């Protein structure tokens, strides 16, 4: 299963929890992870699409317009940052903290408490790997417990984010779509589409009336502009249904779009189901 980042990244952790029987395949970029699945080097690619605090992962959303893969599943990964240091280091030794820019932004209270300087790195696990190589006892990194395990670092303090209830939503992509078969009575499915409309008044409103008329919940709506002159509006939409067969609904959507592409229909994650139950 392909993921973006170094071993020990939160994406690596998500792979282990989503599909523990698969061998994780680290890739240097989101594009490379998509390509690994498209070429058959990996059976699946598991990529982050949105974070509760940081919002959508823009690079992945941009790539969705050009990939030839299907969304086949989703996974919500708890994000718990640990402050890691070299073996023997104490919190009082830490004068600098390195990590991905989003990790630094989500752990400001700790950085202020330690009066430490922060340095942005390419990813959380990469900063842990670099610390393991240079053994600087005065530098800490914000990364996962898996990164500490893989790179032989000590956890100086656990769960250090300013807001502890943080999740990243991942979507699994495959060369073949999720099989459409009769669903259980209490099943819930998610369909992801990209719809393009003309940049004219009420274009989005008309499209959304299809979901309203069918009593369908739209769980995510992201907008963007396409074309050299920004003439075309693009909407990435996730909606929920109790059946995987959504063709009649999609046909209704096509009346109000210039083009519509189905990224995939797939079972809702347990986390989503638990939120519905509340």
CATH number of 82-157: 3.40.190.10
pLDDT at position 198 is 74
pLDDT at position 124 is 95
pLDDT at position 229 is 58
pLDDT at position 260 is 94
What angle in degrees, to the nearest 10, is found between the helix axes of 203-213 and 247-254?
160
pLDDT at position 11 is 97
pLDDT at position 277 is 63
CATH superfamily for 189-277 is ACT domain (3.30.70.260)
Query: CATH topology of 2-78+167-174 equal to that of 82-157?
Result: yes
For the chain, domain boundaries: 2-78+167-174, 82-157, 189-277
Helix spans in 48-168 (H)? 58-63, 101-105, 108-113, 124-134, 145-151
| Cβ-Cβ contacts under 8 Å for 219 (sequence gap 6 or more) | 190, 238, 239, 240, 272
- The one-digit pLDDT tens for each residue of the chain (278 residues) are 999 999 999 999 999 999 999 999 999 999 999 999 999 999 999 999 999 888 889 899 989 988 999 999 999 999 999 999 999 999 999 999 999 998 999 999 999 999 999 999 988 999 999 999 999 999 999 999 999 999 999 999 999 999 988 999 999 999 999 987 666 667 899 999 999 987 778 889 999 999 999 999 999 999 877 766 566 778 999 999 988 778 899 999 999 999 999 999 999 999 998 877 66
Tokens read off for 49: 């699409």
pLDDT at position 236 is 95
Burial class (CB in 10 A: 0-12, 13-18, 19+), 58: exposed
CATH superfamily for 2-78+167-174 is Periplasmic binding protein-like II (3.40.190.10)
| Three-point CA angle 233, 234, 240, nearest 5° | 135
Q: Assess contact for 133 and 64: CB atoms under 8 A.
A: no
Q: How large is the C-alpha radius of gyration of the chain?
A: 21
pLDDT at position 32 is 98
């Amino acid at each position: 299963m392909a993921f973006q980042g170094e071993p020990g990244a939160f994406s690596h952790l998500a792979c282990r929890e989503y599909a523990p029987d698969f061998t994780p395949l680290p890739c240097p970029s989101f594009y490379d992870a998509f390509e690994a699945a498209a070429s058959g080097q990996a059976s699946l690619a598991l990529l982050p699409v949105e974070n509760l605090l940081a919002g959508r992962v823009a690079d992945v959303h941009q790539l969705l317009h050009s990939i030839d893969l299907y969304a086949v599943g989703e996974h919500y990964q708890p994000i718990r940052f640990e402050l890691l240091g070299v073996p023997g280091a104490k919190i009082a030794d830490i004068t600098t903290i390195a990590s991905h820019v989003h990790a630094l932004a989500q752990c400001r209270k700790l950085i202020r408490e330690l009066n430490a300087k922060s340095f942005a790195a390419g990813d959380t696990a990469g900063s842990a790997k670099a610390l393991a190589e240079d053994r600087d006892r005065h530098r800490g990194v914000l990364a996962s417990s898996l990164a500490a395990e893989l790179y032989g670092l000590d956890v100086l303090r656990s769960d250090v984010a300013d807001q502890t209830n943080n999740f990243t939503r991942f979507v699994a992509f495959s060369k073949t779509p999720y099989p459409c078969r009769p669903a259980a009575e209490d099943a819930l499915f998610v369909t992801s589409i990209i719809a393009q409309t003309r940049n004219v008044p009420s274009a989005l409103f008309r499209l959304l009336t299809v979901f309203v008329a069918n009593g369908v919940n739209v769980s995510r709506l992201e907008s963007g502009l396409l074309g050299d002159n920004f003439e075309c509006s693009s909407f990435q939409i996730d909606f929920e249904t109790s059946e995987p067969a959504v063709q009649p609904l999609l046909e209704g959507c096509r009346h109000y779009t210039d083009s519509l592409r189905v990224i995939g229909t797939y079972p809702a994650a347990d986390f989503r189901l638990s939120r519905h139950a509340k």
